[in-house]
Chains A and B, each alone.
Chain A
Amino acid sequence: AQSVTQLGSHVSVSEGALVLLRCNYSSSVPPYLFWYVQYPNQGLQLLLKYTTGATLVKGINGFEAEFKKSETSFHLTKPSAHMSDAAEYFCAVSSSGYSTLTFGKGTMLLVSP
């Protein structure tokens, strides 16, 4: 069975500050890891994903995440928050042989001026 834990249902940062959203996963096989973003009243869109290879993954809008197998983590970061980053962020896990995703409960990012 696979599972995802996102620490913190809400994270607040000031514009220009570092963004750090935490994600830990559980998987009995090598995982594929995803971060999706959901803007208000919209569907989800992919920010970035890790499948194999380089453990530091760069995504859209300046976000990146690092796969750390020893810590079973895939935390999302952005050096400098922008007002437009305010949204809900979901971490998800899958693996080879699985066609379905398991999502975390989401973290709402609030950005203040």
Chain B
Amino acid sequence: NAGVTQTPKFRILKIGQSMTLQCTQDMNHNYMYWYRQDPGMGLKLIYYSVGAGITDKGEVPNGYNVSRSTTEDFPLRLELAAPSQTSVYFCASSWGQDGSYEQYFGPGTRLTVT
């Protein structure tokens, strides 16, 4: 049981390039989330999904897109990368729609845009 896995671990992008951050979970969780973490700012929710085919915006969705075609996978797409998207990105998953459920986090992707 690998939990939540993310690839790549590190990436350097040039301004204007695009990329996809991959996230997979093997716990059969319906709910999946993408966060970004900036120093001293905590975690900010980018997008989340309540099941295959259903996604919704979080607090900071601008510049990002997501899709959820399967229960296991929740990729995050960056189009036209900007320096402001330099951050550490975490994917997470959880069981249920009630907020009492624990979220399980992946190890993160460290992205630098120059």
A-side residues, CB < 8 A to B, are: 9, 32, 34, 36, 41-46, 49, 51, 90, 94-101, 103-106
Q: A44-B90, A100-B33, A100-B58 are in contact. Are A32 and B100 (CB under 8 A)?
A: yes
Contact check, A101 vs B100: say whether CB atoms are below 8 A apart: no
Q: Does B103 contact A (CB under 8 A)?
A: yes
Apart from the given pairs A43-B105, A43-B107, 11 other A-B contacts in the complex at a CB distance below 8 Å: A42-B108, A43-B4, A43-B108, A44-B103, A49-B100, A49-B102, A51-B100, A94-B100, A97-B98, A100-B33, A100-B45
B contact residues around A32 at 8 Å (CB): 99-100
Q: Is the CB of A99 within 8 A of B42?
A: no
Chain A residues with CB below 8 A from B58, complex form = 100
| Chain A residues, CB < 8 A from B74 | none
Interchain CA distance A84-B31 in the complex, whole Å:
31
Quick one: closest B residue to A101, CB to CB?
B103
Chain A CB within 8 A of B80 CB = no
Among B40, B94, B99, point to the contact of A106 (Cβ < 8 A): B40
B residues near A44, Cβ cutoff 8 Å:
43, 90, 92, 103, 105
In Å, the complex CA distance between A105 and B42 comes to 4
A52 to B40, CA, bound (A): 30
Cα separation A97 to B100 with both chains bound (whole Å): 9
Residues on the A chain within 8 Å of B45, using CB: 100-101
> What mask results when residues 83 to 113 of chain B are scored 1 for a CB within 8 Å of chain A, else 0?
0000000101010111110110111100000
A105 to B40, Cβ gap below 8 A? yes
| Chain B residues numbered 47-92 whose CB sits less than 8 Å from any CB in chain A | 48, 50, 58, 90, 92
- Quick check: is B2 within 8 A (CB to CB) of the other chain? no
Interface residue ranges of B22-58 to A (CB < 8 Å): 31, 33, 40-45, 48, 50, 58
